[in-house]
Structure 1
């Protein structure tokens, strides 16, 4: 690994490469808090933005495993009179795979960084998102094609809360974070971040506190560390979070080419053998790429809008070509 290092120019965050129990390399760059002058470290918590969707999908699949939901369950069956523009044929499976065709409150095919339609401080629980999700007509019939849908994952969080009778953040904690040993992960309030959490910064130097919901839900807002994300992949593939049959559903290539040659399963991006968590938003970039045959994880977490996906991909490629021996 001596000659295998990421491009760190202009980066602000942490990049980590691990294989099994071995840390192959970790690089912490820039400040977690510019006012206090606190540096980023390998232990710093970062926002994951849409990387949260992987945990949402697993939470929902765990409810499938418990018999509380099925992939074929119509969303309308749980939503009742709420969100009436969601078509009757939209199912849990469609929402998980971004093939529901429902209208999106934040349509990335139009503007991935559009301002929210309600004050962010009002978004302090999953039910509080309902007014923001309402009023968007169907884009296309369910199952017709892939179209990345942020709102669909908030709908999944609403459904999960209702069938389990438990707040969404608590569901993710008990069904994903705790089984995976992810002790540093959670859904903190953006105006009450715990110590050791990076503040997200926009390109103009301001923080992202007025851009993102005060408490995240199914499509974003979870925070984690590079260590926790490596633990996550190991726990997932060892069957410690959900049954292997449900892991297979998560990682099944539902859409072979969702974007730039990447496939998509149900909450996970797929690039050949690599499984990926990917997220980006105002002042947040998160990419965790795991290669199951060698138990290698490369994660880049940033608290500024800096190129991260390419850095992580290139570092993984360099590690694999550097003679990494597959884990037994």
Structure 2
């Protein structure tokens, strides 16, 4: 896609965010649009950090796979073996692999198959959600949807459960696990778990899709991200991540992580362990959508090409991301 085409889509849609394309580390296109903070008229820049919502499920998955690699967990480890009496509605045969592939069948605290709008307040006391254990009341009380392994059903809660299992198995907090096992070996120096109520100056405020109102997402998301998404990062760090992943710097078993485990025809994709996969090629994707955040990054491991769109609005990333795949 030519620069003029990207600029045209950005102008037509009022895009706020960053578009970045590189090939084997060489930047082919990189441009920031719109405002990181509308109140103070601070523009986005290439160094702005954006929340990537579910895009960081891949980081949770890699932290878990790293623990599997070290023998701390197994893909066949049951959730029940570490949950004890917590979350009793999770079936006894649900495993780490089921959770990683969205085939666990557990009920979801944030069910994307439901009727909620992205502007709805659905998580209760956002300021209390600073640890993985604090999510237990939210995760509890949701009946099983289907038997483990029966089919694919995207499950946010499953990745919070994964964070909880990783913590209990390793004795290390989720945020430190991701820092030590993913961010540090990948060289992602600008990526961090940022509190939504004390964002630094280089982080974009997330804005809701409300006509004529500049309302932030501070009450819509956990104050500190956990296993199902919400870390803040930059476009450059995402490209650094992809190169490190396929160089084997994060986990040894990269091909197992990105091996298709299940077809998701309704999305014209497949799914590996925490990563979306193109339906017919080897392109790997991280995708995130939430109140005040939208993100998609696609990486072709054969050419080393990365295309990333980050936005601090809920619908912002999609028109440009769709044009990339058209």
- Relative to the length of structure 1, the TM-score reads 0.93
Q: Which runs of 4+ in 1 moved over 6 A?
A: none
Match of 1:270 in 2: 277
Output aligned runs, 1:180-219, within 5 Å: 180-204=186-210, 205-219=214-228
Identify which range, 187-196 or 86-95, moves more after superposition.
187-196
Moved more, 133-142 or 108-117: 108-117
What are the superposed Cα offsets for residues 219-238 of structure 1, whole Å, 9 maximum, x if unpaired?
01211100000000000000
Per-residue deviation at 1:258?
Answer: 4.9
Structure 2: gaps spanning 5 or more residues: none
Q: Which residue of 1 aligns with 2:79?
A: 75
Equivalent runs, 1:308-319 vs 2, <5 Å: 308-315=317-324
Does the 8 Å CA contact 2:206/2:293 hold for their aligned counterparts?
A: yes
Q: Does residue 86 of the first structure (1) align with residue 90 of the second (2)?
A: yes
Report the CA distance between 1:123 and its aligned residue: 0.6
2:266 is aligned, of 259, 264, 283, to 259
> Is residue 2:299 matched to residue 1:290?
yes
> Runs of 5+ in structure 1 lacking a partner?
318-328
1:118 aligns with 2:118: no
Measured after TM superposition, the shift of residue 4 of structure 1 is 6.5
Aligned to 1:324: none
Q: How many residues align?
A: 315
Of residues 103, 106, 123, the one that matches 1:102 is 106
Root-mean-square deviation (CA), in Å? 1.5
1:184-204 CA distances to partner (integer Å, 9 max, x unpaired)?
Answer: 101111001122000000122
Instruction: Give the alignment's TM-score, normalised by structure 2.
Output: 0.93
Deviation larger for 16-25 or 302-311? 302-311
Matched, 1:279 2:285: no
Give the secondary structure class of the aligned counterpart of 1:70.
coil
CA distance in 1, matches of 2:90, 2:265: 22
Shift of residue 251 of structure 1? 0.7
Alpha-carbon distance in structure 2 between the residues aligned to 1:119 and 1:155 = 19
